[in-house]
Chains A and B, each alone.
Chain A
């Protein structure tokens, strides 16, 4: 029972709401981890604020005994930081691009109550391009993937995805296999 309960932490399928019958998920993309690691590091730095404040105040005002109130305010500060870290992680985790054998679904989570879902059917894909900009993106191999549909329609841009070349190849492979009627192979 407990084993079954904990299996969701290592065995969860990439299924999603609105998945059609026979629809197979080939790729689940999120932003490169570098983008979230930077944010989390900033929050960890903010965690040092109470320590710095206590060190300074204990030096400047040694006669006041406000340890208890200070510890309580620090705990509230850490609660706020905890919320902020996981708010960022939620935005990172919920911003996904799902590439299936039938379509591409782009979930844009801009805030907790601001969500945009766009989808593009594979047969409408005309062109896929990759844009890697700067030193960090080049060395850590992440960048933007742009999917172009029919001329008058909008572009789909997936920002800061890891291994953009592989994503481009995968999309092109799915598009080609759909046109030829041969099942695509996941690499």
Chain B
């Protein structure tokens, strides 16, 4: 069996994980900005968004460096 379908499944799974992650991130940011009172929630929202972007970028770069073919062989 070709390794190609496994790579696709792996990519789809990773995409789903990111979709779920950014879904939850949106909900938390929405709560900070919609219901937050005062300065503190705005600061938390900014730090959270910045950290999420940085961590996501790192995760994407690390994901692209994985050679799934050699892992399953």
Are A and B physically bound partners? yes
State whether B59 touches A12 (Cβ < 8 A). no
State whether A71 touches B62 (Cβ < 8 A). yes
* 9-residue interface stretch from A49-57, A89-97, A123-131: A89-97
State whether A9 touches B42 (Cβ < 8 A). yes
Near A by CB (< 8 A), chain B positions 32-72 give 32, 35-44, 46, 48, 51-52, 55-56, 58-59, 62-63, 65-67, 71
CA distance A71 to B35 in the complex (A): 36
CA distance A10 to B32 in the complex (A): 16
Produce 1/0 per residue, A157-183, CB < 8 A to B: 000000000000000000000000000
Interface size of A in residues (CB-CB distance below 8 Å): 35
CB closest chain-A residue, reference B54: A82
Tell me if B17 is interfacial: C-beta within 8 Å of chain A.
yes
For A17, the chain B residues whose CB sits under 8 A away are 35
CB closest chain-B residue, reference A98: B37
For B42, the chain A residues whose CB sits under 8 A away are 8-9, 12
**B residues in contact (CB < 8 Å) with A:** 17, 21, 24-25, 27-28, 31-32, 35-44, 46, 48, 51-52, 55-56, 58-59, 62-63, 65-67, 71
